[in-house]
Amino acid sequence: MKVSAGPIQAVNDFVVKFANVNGSGSASANLLFAKAILRMGIPVAPRNIFPSNIQGLPTWFEVRVNAAGWRGRRGGVDLMVAMNPQTWDQDLKEIEPGGYLLYDSTKPLPESKFRDDISVIGVPLTEICNREYSDTRQRQLFKNIIYVGALSALLEIDPEEIAHLIGDQYKGKEALLKPNVHAMTIGRNYAINNLDCPLGIKVRRANAVGDRIFIEGNSAAALGAVYGGATVAAWYPITPSSSMAEAFARHCRKFRTEPASGRARYAIVQAEDELASIGIVIGAGWNGARAFTCTSGPGISLMQEFIGLAYFAEIPAVLFDVQRGSPSTGMPTRTQQADVLSCAYASHGDTKHVLLFPEDPKEAFEFAALSFDLADRLQTPIFVMLDLDVGMQDWLCEPLTWDDARTHDRGKVMSYEALEAGEEFGRYLDVDGDGIPYRTYPGTHPKRGSYFTRGTTKDRYARYTEDGATYVDNMERLLRKFETAKGLVPEPVRRDAAHATRFGVIYYGSTAPAIDEALAALAAQGIHLDALRVRAFPFQDSIADFIAAHEQVFVVEQNRDAQLKSLLVNELLVDPARLMPVLHYDGTPITARFISGEIAGKLAMFNVTPLRKVAP
Amino acid sequence: MTYLAKPKLHHPDLAKNKLGYTHRDYEGTVSTLCAGCGHDSISAAIIQAFFELDVAPHRVAKLSGIGCSSKTPTYFLGNSHGFNSVHGRMPSVLTGANLANRELIYLGVSGDGDSASIGLGQFAHSMRRGVNMVYIVENNGVYGLTKGQFSATADKGSKSKRGAINNDEPIDMVMMALQLGASFVARSFSGDKTQLTPLIKAAVQHQGAAFLDVISPCVAFNNHAGSTKSYDFVREHNESVNRLDFMPQHDEITADYAPGSLREVRQHDGSILRLRKLHEDYDPSDRITAMDFLQRRHADGEIVTGLLYVDPDAGDLHVALNTVETPLNRLGASELIPGAAALEKFNATLR
Ligand SMILES: Cc1ncc(C[n+]2csc(CCOP(=O)(O)OP(=O)(O)O)c2C)c(N)n1
Ligand code: SF4
Ligand SMILES: [Mg+2]
């Protein structure tokens, strides 16, 4: 089949996908490619799609170049850089008709291995490397840089930007700097001398990035924990959360080293398992330090008993759950939002927990800092629900900000002075109706304010009891406290369509960028929806109002069982028929194309006539 | 209603310690354990030790897991904060508490089920980390609270009250503590207060992970013939390696012991442990000798008690993590928040 429309033509709006072998050093070369385009003022959205493996399995890196700034995955590939023979057939299939293929042409491939509706660009990468380098490791590493060089010519990426980035990366390591720039130049020159440059797709310097920053959600969340005043962190390695603990250690070394002594204003323990991690966090929280753990679904499962203790004994704790493909080991390196229910109701018995859903690294920073105030104020575990797609990918987002007038809210802590003045202290006494009692830190006062913390039933003065009425009194207070939480957690973000509509959409977390783009695309087709981004549980009344105000509300999620929808039905007592799930859970980040297709398809069943046809 | 607090009516002529506290100030609520339970004797020794050490009760944090033994922290040090956590997980909660405030004294109380069965992992890792604490296992070889099932420290061949025979090898927590790097390791018997009280005092004063295995007969479920943790069995098989006299650093040092039978160990904080030796060949400063001695005596059916090992210069987790002197829970916002300008600089590195 020949392409009728010819090769794709696009400036600053295309998708490049790299297919590599894991462990070949490709990820850093591919990130270099993405950053060079970013430095030219053009927004990019990169996604590292990696296997649970150290070496040998296929890995992909997708870069969406998009001047309009859409940060979600688009779907489809315009240029495939196919460097992995194992996935060749699959990779070729993904290329859009009229798209491009860049491959290593050292070994000739039979005609049948290609498609005739795409443009094929061969660069003899292995041959060039074998000629240039004798060391096998260098051959492998520089091969990646050489294709980046070739791409710079094919896509008109400014080679100076690449050279600058290499310079930044190898500052002070001259021995590595020069050969990298050299490898890039070899690739570039090969393309200039042997290929038709540029392709139909290319970049052009723009001014569309502004002061936005490029950061991974886990690093941003870890920095939020620093600003939020966390001093104790306990963790057990698990993808995709490990990089958060590592980033916290890095940020702490930089920001939390006591200048005079060089000593640490923080303590990080790599525990023996997740039970110990959460135990350490609870012990530290009980003793008045701000503490967190970061984990993923399997870790949350192990922490269940302790989470119930923290809820019932009312101990501040922060848990970052970087969600991955589940259940069990599932797809450990793929993204999902499938821990919503297991976190909302974590542990045995009647429990409910505060969840926060950041949409990107910027919000991950903000919610991380906020979570410690919430934990202290509410004296309960707070879950910051990151998705792997937010946690482990670099996102272009607004710069992080901090108001120097802001301090930490340590919640209701009775001081030595208050105790000394004879103020009444009852650890579980609700003095002002918000359901939140006062606590004391151990060691505060020689004679007053000590109490015994336990997981068994107790009265308002923390005395052991098995009396049913006292138990109920306490459980009811915990519900009042959860009501109070509604007024403290981030409000949902509502965005109404340009035209009045009977339809709405609810979404959260990493789905946000794909929704933004899908809604724009649907609006262009004359389909209008009001949108509500849920940012926290417990749900505020405004969420119930939004649902009540629309005949049909789509709930877009990245899990199989429509978990947020279940939580909405359960907690807001809304008619389930009003909520229609749109679910994407194959482990890849949800795309705008998927959402708009699903919603348009479902609305067709309602016989919705688009309000206004807009010429494409 | 036995769990109501005892009225703390202080008799004017009750003896006071250096801080002006009486013995009563170190007591807790009335025990709800079975009469004669070994655990209650350990509580009494803890009360005595802290009274004699002149420690202000509120400077102690007492933490435990779940079990009869883990209930005991309510029965002593009523002016201390206590935390009865979850089964087998006291060590992690204590570790976190200790990280938050290095200035308090941390007393962990656990049972053999709590520490050797469900909580073996946490016990082991807290020893490895050298958490500065006193870790007491009230060891009765059974799960008292769930009515007498064998725990992992029950000796092979020992008989339960219902007649069942234990076929599994026992875990010797003292051997494990030695092997895992605890820097103070002792064993005692709840029925031997003269040995136990000074051991607790020395453990409190020790800087580092102090482990105390206290054999503590369960009168309800293992004080019968066939049990190797009954009062009679332990009395018959107890082999004491030394007797300890403990001198806090401010005590005048008197020399009323015959040299030759006495060994002094000066701890990190200047306090002095005086070991009156029963076994001339026993050297508590050598971990390997201690392990060897313990194994040989065990083979002979003896339960060795006393201070088995001490490293007076041990460090702890805070030393390893190089944390600041100020307790982490007292650091203020100005020490914790890097501020807006630092964030702007950080942003600049991400463009
Ligand atoms: C997760 C969990 N499993 C089981 C129990 C039940 N349980 C309570 S105490 C206990 C055993 C306690 O034995 P030990 O630590 O030796 O204490 P003792 O009562 O003998 O002093 C068990 C199994 C529990 N509380 N939690
Ligand atoms: S059951 Fe055993 S361990 Fe529990 S209180 Fe009674 S004697 Fe003590
Ligand atoms: Mg026991």
* Spatial separation of the C-alpha atoms in residues A197 and A190, rounded to whole Å: 11
Nearest residue in chain B measured CA to CA from A441: B81
CB contact set of B86 (below 8 Å; sequence gap of 6+): A279, A305, A306, A309, A455, B65, B66
Reported as a single tens digit per residue, the pLDDT across A73-91 is: 998 999 999 999 999 999 9
What 8-state DSSP symbol labels residue A412?
A: S
Q: Which atom of ligand 1 is nearest to the CA of B71?
A: 21
Q: Does B32 reach chain A within 8 Å, measured CB to CB?
A: no
Write the single-letter amino acid at A467. Answer: D
Is the beta carbon of B113 within 6 A of some atom in ligand 1? yes
Distance of CA A264 to the CA centre of its chain: 29
Nearest residue in chain B measured CA to CA from A292: B96
Instruction: Give the distance (Å) from ligand 2 centre to CA of residue B175.
Output: 25
Residue whose C-alpha is closest to residue B317's, from A42, A270, A122, A609: A270
Pocket test for ligand 1, best of B145, B161, B227, B230 (most atoms within 8 A of CB): B145
Q: What is the pLDDT of residue A461?
A: 97
Identify the weakest region by mean pLDDT among A33-37, A316-320, B273-277: B273-277
Q: Which atom of ligand 2 is nearest to the CA of B33?
A: 5
Check A443 against B61: CB less than 8 A apart: yes
Q: What is the pLDDT of residue B344?
A: 98
* Spatial separation of the C-alpha atoms in residues B148 and B142, rounded to whole Å: 5
Q: Does B329 reach chain A within 8 Å, measured CB to CB?
A: yes
* Spatial separation of the C-alpha atoms in residues A95 and A13, rounded to whole Å: 15
Optimal mutation site among B55, B59, B346, B349, interface A, most CBs of chain A within 10 A: B346
Nearest residue in chain B measured CA to CA from A448: B79
A386 and A458 co-located in one domain: no
A367 and A309 co-located in one domain: yes
Q: How confident is the model at residue B252 (pLDDT cuts 50, 70, 90)?
A: very low
* Spatial separation of the C-alpha atoms in residues A434 and A436, rounded to whole Å: 5
Asked whether the bond before A616 is cis by omega within 30 degrees of 0, the reply is: no
CB contact set of A449 (below 8 Å; sequence gap of 6+): A414, A419, A425, A440
Higher pLDDT, B7 or A130: A130
Which CATH number covers residue A98? 3.40.920.10
CB contact set of B17 (below 8 Å; sequence gap of 6+): B51, B52, B54
Q: What is the pLDDT of residue B3?
A: 43
Residue whose C-alpha is closest to residue B216's, from B38, B66, B35, B41: B38
The percent of residues in chain A predicted with pLDDT above 70, rounded, is: 98
B199 in Cβ contact with B205 (< 8 Å): no
Q: For chain A, what is the mean pLDDT?
A: 95
Distance of CA A205 to the CA centre of its chain: 29
**Quick check: A220 pLDDT over 70?**
yes
Higher pLDDT, A453 or B235: A453
A77 and A198 co-located in one domain: yes
Closest chain B C-alpha to A464 CA, distance in angstroms: 8
* Residues B227-234, mean pLDDT to the nearest whole number: 91
Check A402 against B340: CB less than 8 A apart: yes
Query: Phi then psi for A521, rounded to 5 degrees?
Result: -65, -45
Is the beta carbon of B308 within 6 A of some atom in ligand 2? no
Higher pLDDT, B337 or B300: B337
Closest chain B C-alpha to A78 CA, distance in angstroms: 26
Q: What is the pLDDT of residue B258?
A: 45
* Spatial separation of the C-alpha atoms in residues A530 and A543, rounded to whole Å: 12
Domain ranges of chain B: 23-322
Check A255 against B342: CB less than 8 A apart: yes
Pocket test for ligand 2, best of B221, B227, B229, B231 (most atoms within 8 A of CB): B221
Q: Return the H-helix or E-strand segment holding A582.
A: strand A579-583
Give the length of chain A: 616
**Quick check: B232 pLDDT over 50?**
yes
Instruction: Give the distance (Å) from ligand 3 centre to CA of residue B185.
Output: 19
Which CATH number covers residue A564? 3.40.50.920
CB contact set of A565 (below 8 Å; sequence gap of 6+): A555, A557, A576, A579, A581
Q: How confident is the model at residue B260 (pLDDT cuts 50, 70, 90)?
A: very low
* Spatial separation of the C-alpha atoms in residues B57 and B213, rounded to whole Å: 23
Q: How many CB pairs under 8 A join A and B?
A: 226
Residue A130 covered by a domain: yes
Q: Is A48 helix (H, G, I), strand (E, B) or coil?
A: strand
Q: For chain B, what is the mean pLDDT?
A: 90
Residue A406 covered by a domain: no
Residue A354 covered by a domain: yes
**Quick check: A570 pLDDT over 50?**
yes
DSSP code string of A67-133: TT---SB--SEEEEEE--GGGHHHHHHHEEEEEEEEEE-SS---GGGS-TTSEEEEE-HHHHHHHH-
What 8-state DSSP symbol labels residue B59?
A: G
DSSP code string of B144-201: TTTTSEE-TTSPTT-B-TTSPBP-SPPP-HHHHHHHHT-SEEEEEETT-HHHHHHHHH
A53 in Cβ contact with A44 (< 8 Å): no
Distance of CA A163 to the CA centre of its chain: 30
CB contact set of A438 (below 8 Å; sequence gap of 6+): A412, A413, A414, A425, A426, A427, A429, A431
Is the beta carbon of B42 within 6 A of some atom in ligand 2? no
Instruction: Give the distance (Å) from ligand 3 centre to CA of residue B111.
Output: 5
**Quick check: B1 pLDDT over 90?**
no
Identify the weakest region by mean pLDDT among A333-337, B284-288, B297-301: B297-301
- Residue ending a domain, choose from A428, A456, A489: A489
Residue whose C-alpha is closest to residue B83's, from A520, A337, A17, A283: A283
Optimal mutation site among B86, B123, B125, interface A, most CBs of chain A within 10 A: B86
B72 in Cβ contact with B138 (< 8 Å): yes
Check A280 against B99: CB less than 8 A apart: yes
Backbone conformation region of residue A435, classed left if phi is above 0, alpha if psi is from -120 to 50, else beta:
left
Q: What is the pLDDT of residue B262?
A: 63
Nearest to B86 among A266, A309, A408 (CB): A309
A438 in Cβ contact with A431 (< 8 Å): yes
**Quick check: A530 pLDDT over 90?**
yes
Q: How confident is the model at residue B253 (pLDDT cuts 50, 70, 90)?
A: very low
CA dihedral over A366, A371, A377, A378, signed as positive or negative = positive
Sheet holding B272-277, edge to edge: B242-247, B272-277, B262-266
Tell me the chain A residues in contact with residue B63 when contact means C-beta distances shorter than 8 Å.
Answer: 283
Optimal mutation site among A235, A257, A287, A400, interface B, most CBs of chain B within 10 A: A287
Q: What is the pLDDT of residue A172?
A: 87
Q: What is the pLDDT of residue B259?
A: 40
Residue A407 covered by a domain: no
Q: How confident is the model at residue A141 (pLDDT cuts 50, 70, 90)?
A: confident
* Residues A451-455, mean pLDDT to the nearest whole number: 97
* Residues A436-451, mean pLDDT to the nearest whole number: 97
The percent of residues in chain B predicted with pLDDT above 90, rounded, is: 75
A29 and A167 co-located in one domain: yes
Closest chain B C-alpha to A215 CA, distance in angstroms: 7
A362 and A275 co-located in one domain: yes
Lookup: tokens for B185: 């390791």
Nearest to B100 among A276, A288, A444 (CB): A288
Lookup: tokens for B36: 């004669």
* Residues B235-242, mean pLDDT to the nearest whole number: 88
* Spatial separation of the C-alpha atoms in residues A496 and A502, rounded to whole Å: 11
Instruction: Give the distance (Å) from ligand 3 centre to CA of residue B36.
Output: 15
What 8-state DSSP symbol labels residue B38?
A: H
Nearest residue in chain A measured CA to CA from B8: A447
Nearest to B104 among A211, A266, A442 (CB): A442
**Quick check: A608 pLDDT over 80?**
no
Residue A613 covered by a domain: no
Q: Of the ligands numbered here, which is closest to the C-alpha atom of B222? A: 2
Residue A403 covered by a domain: no
* Residues B23-37, mean pLDDT to the nearest whole number: 95
Q: What is the pLDDT of residue B9?
A: 58
Reported as a single tens digit per residue, the pLDDT across B136-186 is: 999 999 999 999 999 999 999 999 988 899 999 999 999 999 999 999 999
Q: How confident is the model at residue A174 (pLDDT cuts 50, 70, 90)?
A: confident
Check B329 against A287: CB less than 8 A apart: yes
Check A287 against B86: CB less than 8 A apart: no
- Residue ending a domain, choose from A429, A457, A489: A489
- Residue ending a domain, choose from A460, A489, A518: A489
Optimal mutation site among A165, A275, A444, A452, interface B, most CBs of chain B within 10 A: A452
Instruction: Give the distance (Å) from ligand 1 centre to CA of residue B24.
Output: 30
Full domain range(s) for residue A348:
215-397
A342 and A381 co-located in one domain: yes
Distance of CA A427 to the CA centre of its chain: 37
Is the beta carbon of B33 within 6 A of some atom in ligand 2? yes
A292 and A266 co-located in one domain: yes
A243 and A376 co-located in one domain: yes
Task: Give contacts of B 124-163 with A, CB under 8 A.
Answer: 124-125, 129
Asked whether the bond before A124 is cis by omega within 30 degrees of 0, the reply is: no
Check B84 against A456: CB less than 8 A apart: yes
SS (H, E, C) A479-539: HHHHHHHHCCCCCCEEECCCCCCCEEEEECHHHHHHHHHHHHHHHHCCCCCEEEECCEECC
A187 in Cβ contact with A146 (< 8 Å): yes
Question: Hey, whose CA ends up nearest to atom 8 of ligand 2?
Answer: B37
pTM for the model: 0.95
Check B321 against A267: CB less than 8 A apart: yes
Identify the weakest region by mean pLDDT among A260-264, B89-93, B299-303, B330-334: B299-303
* Residues A386-402, mean pLDDT to the nearest whole number: 97
* Residues B95-114, mean pLDDT to the nearest whole number: 98
Is the beta carbon of B142 within 6 A of some atom in ligand 2? no
Residue A405 covered by a domain: no
Q: What is the pLDDT of residue B270?
A: 74
* Spatial separation of the C-alpha atoms in residues B255 and A475, rounded to whole Å: 60
Instruction: Give the distance (Å) from ligand 1 centre to CA of residue B108.
Output: 16
Q: What is the pLDDT of residue A616?
A: 46
What is the DSSP pairing of strand B272-277 with strand B242-247? antiparallel
A515 and A551 co-located in one domain: yes
Using a 10 angstrom Cβ sphere, with 0-12 exposed, 13-18 middle and 19 or more buried, the burial of residue A141 is buried
Closest chain A C-alpha to B338 CA, distance in angstroms: 6
Residue whose C-alpha is closest to residue A552's, from A481, A605, A487, A486: A605
* Spatial separation of the C-alpha atoms in residues B333 and A74, rounded to whole Å: 42
Instruction: Give the distance (Å) from ligand 3 centre to CA of residue B154.
Output: 9
Instruction: Give the distance (Å) from ligand 2 centre to CA of residue B34.
Output: 5
Q: What is the pLDDT of residue B118?
A: 98
A93 and A166 co-located in one domain: yes
Check B324 against A265: CB less than 8 A apart: yes
A298 and A434 co-located in one domain: no
Check A223 against B63: CB less than 8 A apart: no
CB contact set of B23 (below 8 Å; sequence gap of 6+): B14, B15, B47, B48, B51
Using a 10 angstrom Cβ sphere, with 0-12 exposed, 13-18 middle and 19 or more buried, the burial of residue B251 is exposed
A333 and A225 co-located in one domain: yes
Measured between its terminal Cα atoms, the distance across chain A in Å is 26
Nearest residue in chain A measured CA to CA from B103: A443
CATH superfamily of B23-322: Thiamin diphosphate (ThDP)-binding fold, Pyr/PP domains (3.40.50.970)
